[in-house]
Amino acid sequence: MENKVEKTSKNKGLNKEFLENQWKKGESGNPDGRPKGTKNWSTVYWEALEKLADKNDTTPEELNLEILQKGILLARKGDFRFFKDIQDREYGSATQNIKHEGDIEIHGAKEMTKKIDEILNEDENISNNLETKESNKGNSE
């Protein structure tokens, strides 16, 4: 079986089939993703701060500082929910290990298992035929 990994400085040994099936330039990997014009969390947050600042005769930056100070006070008392939420929104939530028990169905796994069994059976038949030929050769001498 040939090695399907092309090692170059660009792809650092990535699987060639994987690279060939990636999206083409200008093609979206999530065409039904967030609708155009939808604002991200940061934009909504700062717009809300601007509205509150206007109503309270202050600046969005000063309000943001007050919110951060309140979050720090809560954290010093052991309540880290504010910081967890901010960290998750800005940097993504931490990776979690999940224990799974039970069957997992993988698309195409049954066909792949069947093919592997066929190959193994062919190899076993070839080995048996070779052994039979060798033993017959030894018996005839």
How many other C-beta atoms lie within 10 A of the C-beta of residue 68?
13
pTM of the model: 0.43
Q: Which two tokens stand for residue 13?
A: 């040994």
Q: Is 42 a member of any domain?
A: no
The 10s digit of each residue's pLDDT in 10-48 is 555 566 666 676 777 777 777 778 788 888 888 998 999
Alpha helices in 1-141 (DSSP H): 16-20, 41-55, 60-76, 81-91, 109-140
**pLDDT of res. 19:** 67
The domain tally of the chain equals: 1
Q: Which two tokens stand for residue 122?
A: 């062919």
**What range does the domain containing 74 cover?**
61-93
Distance CA 46, CA 60 (A): 7
101 exposed, middle or buried (CB, 10 Å; 0-12, 13-18, 19+)? exposed
Query: Is the pLDDT assigned to residue 112 strictly greater than 90?
Result: no
User: What pLDDT sits at residue 3?
Assistant: 47
Q: Could you tell me what percent of the chain has a pLDDT over 70?
A: 81
Decide if 83 is inside a domain: yes
* pLDDT digits 0-9 by tens, 78-98: 998 988 887 788 778 888 888
